[in-house]
A and B are shown apart, each in its own frame.
Chain A
Amino acid sequence: MFDLIQYIFDGLAVGSVYALIALGYSMVFGVLQLVNFAHGELFMVGAYFVMYAISLGLPWHLALVVGMCCVGFFAVAMERFCYKPLRGAGKLAPLITAVGLSLLLQNLVQAILGSNPQSYPATLPDGTVFGFIKSLFPPVDQVTLPQLPEGLFDWGQIVVRHRDLLIFVVAIAVTLGLELFLRKTRPGQGIRALALQPNAARLVGVPFDRTISLTFFIGAALAVVAGLLQGMADNQVTPYMGISSGLKAFAAAVLGGIGVIPGALLGGLVLGIAERLLVGYDLSTYKDGAAFFILILVLLLRPQGLLGKARMVKV
């Protein structure tokens, strides 16, 4: 019994990272009906960016904000140059483009930064561009690296790490904040209007392109938050980290009801807990398959996802 409770607690932390990535999938799908498969790579690029920024001596909050902005604008540019020209081309073309972008980013990072896992403190490779970046910062031998809180809540049978709790709280807070933003602010309402009825939204004056850019920006920024948390928790980032996390986050978004913000959170947490239960009962080999098994099961019973509303799609 205690074991079961323990696994559920562990799963909440793992699932929170999935949830943070899933939010971006969900929002983009909401407005464009596009599964942005390159989103997992934004998480990976964000994790790298923040790790290098912190290792160069930036305080973590500054590194996070700069990372969110840079990766956010990168996502906006990605949409402008890769998805926007394909807007009239049906749904398949942007989807394939997304898969291509995902592979491109993985291999680009691997080619430039190497495929070895990087840990704190990470050193940039040599070369003109990186040499220039390094020369902008004072040489820091002893950067005091930020750490996630290290303590434990130890209740005998059940142990919860402070950092797990922190990640969980961040995920809840971000989801709530995003939901508030979408309901209470004008740009947020614009995003919802576009998701609900694109043509009507345009008619009443929602700026189409700008709203879509905003959606991509927010999604990418949240992925950077997830990248920072995971990079600090594991002390390891790799060019491949976006693949499995991205795929699971996608499954989480669909599971919770794609396009529904709290659904992404719920989906992430459910997958996280399922994964930890399998590991706990010594079935870790089936861990990755299980996420998709649950997904199939839920979609058979509730095709719109756990929290999604059934919607008539005009064909």
Chain B
Amino acid sequence: MTTQNRPTRRVVLAALSVGLCSLGLGVSTLSHAAVTEVKVGVILPLTGDKATFGQESLNGLKLALDKAGKDSPQLKMQVEDTQGTPAGSAAAVNKLIASDKVAVIIGEVASSNTIAASAAAQSAKIPLVTHASTNDTITMGKEFISRICFVDSFQGAVMAKFAVSNLKAKTAAILVDSDSDYSRGLRDSFKQAFATAGGSIKDELVISYSQKDRDFKTQLMKIRKATPDVVFIPGYYTQVGAILRQAKELKLNTKFLGTDGWDSPDLFKIAGAAAAGHFVSSHFASDDTDPRVQEFVREYKTRNKENPGAMAALGYDAGFFMRAAIKKAGSNDPKKIRDAIASMKNFDGITGTITLDQNRNAVKPAVIVTTTEKEFKFLTRVYP
């Protein structure tokens, strides 16, 4: 579909951008204070094995921008599909900067992809805000990169503490997606926090798998023999769904702990009945009773005919956050927008109150949800 539409869309956008540029020039001569229109590049995995993440993020983002209506500043989105790969992400950023001349970029979801994208954005000095990539290293030493989600050193610790104090776990195993920076970062933070909280993880129970794997029996058999109290899988839903399903086949009765990479409706489709009874850390729960969350859930549901997941909520917050930052910057200038983003404080989002720290990471609470056969259920909120 995208490939069919692309040429025409590109032509229209090119025409539009020429028009907008001239409009922008005209306006800027009239008044310096208010900026009316800013081009925002959006990079998301709209296809590939993390596609639900990209689609939910985009739905949330669109909802936010439509809700903002005609108020200035208008954010004009230019959406690029990264196919969920690091190479695709870097290419998308380069295209947005070089030919679309965007002032700021929102996106990617998977940390490995955002790392690739942020290198390109940083060297072009275009600010990039990721709504969902949690790996700690993403913003390190790159002053144009920031995020509105929590980081993995926090997320891993949340799950480790939850395992020790709520589930009374003493031993754990970790299944690591060796193709993902996200998964490796969470492995380290969970391992450390679990040991600090008094649990122990044997080295041979830190087992890796690859995103190309279909059969996880060999890894699961090791866990089956060692019978740890909990198994932590910091991974993405496509593989996690298959792992849960095969664990059930092997009659493996340990509890599984997951992270925000699990947060997709496809997890339940792939895992089926095996999805029930696990604990997952995330950014948002759609059955949270907060009235603002419920309003968002209602609006999202009428538009998209499904419950929003964490990515949808983060996309929604990213839309409003970006609008607020650009309003604050009062300019089309990437450097000014960057400074406005970095100094955002107490932004009231539906995934929590967002304040960026000196490393441009959001300090905000995580949500722990539990799983049934069909959906996530809100359990508790953990503050940093």
Contacts and interface: CB of A to CB of B under 8 A. Distances in A.
Interface of A: 6-7, 10, 13-14, 107, 110-111, 114-117, 119, 150, 152, 157, 159, 161, 163-164, 230, 233-236, 238, 244, 276, 279-280, 282, 284-285, 287-288
Given A117-B49, A117-B238, A161-B217, A282 B270 contact: no
B208 interface: yes
5 shortest interchain CB distances as A-B pairs? A115-B47, A119-B269, A279-B218, A116-B51, A280-B218
A287 B270 contact: no
Given A111-B4, A230-B214, 7 more contacts: A10-B215, A10-B218, A115-B51, A119-B269, A161-B250, A164-B217, A285-B210
A147 to B, nearest CB: 10
Interface string B81-107: 001000000000000000000000000
The secondary-structure label for the interface of chain A is helix
Interface in B226-255: 238, 241-242, 245, 249-251
A161 B1 contact: no
B199 interface: no
B218 A276 contact: yes
Contacts of B215: 10, 13-14, 233-234
A6 B251 contact: no
B166 interface: no
B209 interface: yes
A161 B224 CA distance: 14
A7 B218 contact: yes
A288 B179 CA distance: 13
A117 B210 CA distance: 17
Nearest to A277: B218
Contacts of B358: none
Nearest to A122: B269
22 contacts: A6-B218, A7-B218, A14-B215, A114-B47, A115-B83, A116-B266, A117-B270, A159-B224, A161-B217, A164-B217, A230-B214, A235-B270, A236-B238, A279-B209, A279-B213, A279-B218, A280-B218, A284-B209, A284-B210, A285-B179, A287-B210, A287-B212
A159 B250 contact: yes
Contact of A238 (B4, B49, B52, B179): B49
B173 to A, nearest CB: 13
Contacts of A233: 214-215
Nearest to B81: A115
A9 B250 CA distance: 15
A284 B221 contact: no
A159 B221 contact: yes
B249 A234 contact: no
Contacts of B218: 6-7, 10, 276, 279-280
A285 B4 CA distance: 36
A6 B212 CA distance: 21
Nearest to A116: B51
Contact of B208 (A163, A164, A284): A284
Contacts of A230: 214
A285 B208 contact: yes
Contact of A236 (B3, B4, B83, B242): B242
Given A10-B218, A119-B270, A150 B249 contact: yes
Contacts of A287: 210, 212-213
Contact of B245 (A6, A152, A235, A282): A235
A276 B221 CA distance: 12
B48 interface: yes
A119 B269 CA distance: 6
Nearest to A150: B249
B232 to A, nearest CB: 17
A50 to B, nearest CB: 17
Nearest to B209: A284
For B221, B224, B251, the residue with the greatest tally of chain A CB atoms inside 10 Å of its CB is: B221
B74 interface: no
B251 A284 contact: no
A279 B217 CA distance: 10
Contacts of B241: 119, 235-236
Contacts of A244: 212
Contact of B270 (A6, A236, A288): A236
Interface string B45-72: 0011101100000000000000000000
Contacts of A107: 3
B351 to A, nearest CB: 24
A231 B371 CA distance: 25
Contacts of A14: 215
A119 B245 CA distance: 12
A159 B251 CA distance: 11
A306 B242 CA distance: 34
B178 interface: yes
Contacts of B251: 152
A284 B213 contact: yes
For B224, B241, B249, B251, the residue with the greatest tally of chain A CB atoms inside 10 Å of its CB is: B249
B243 to A, nearest CB: 11
B171 to A, nearest CB: 19
Nearest to B268: A119
Contacts of A285: 178-179, 208, 210
Nearest to A279: B218
Contacts of B52: 116
Given A117-B238, A152-B250, A284-B208, A10 B51 contact: no
Contacts of A236: 214, 238, 241-242, 270
Interface in B103-133: none
B268 to A, nearest CB: 9
A111 B3 contact: yes
A111 B251 CA distance: 38
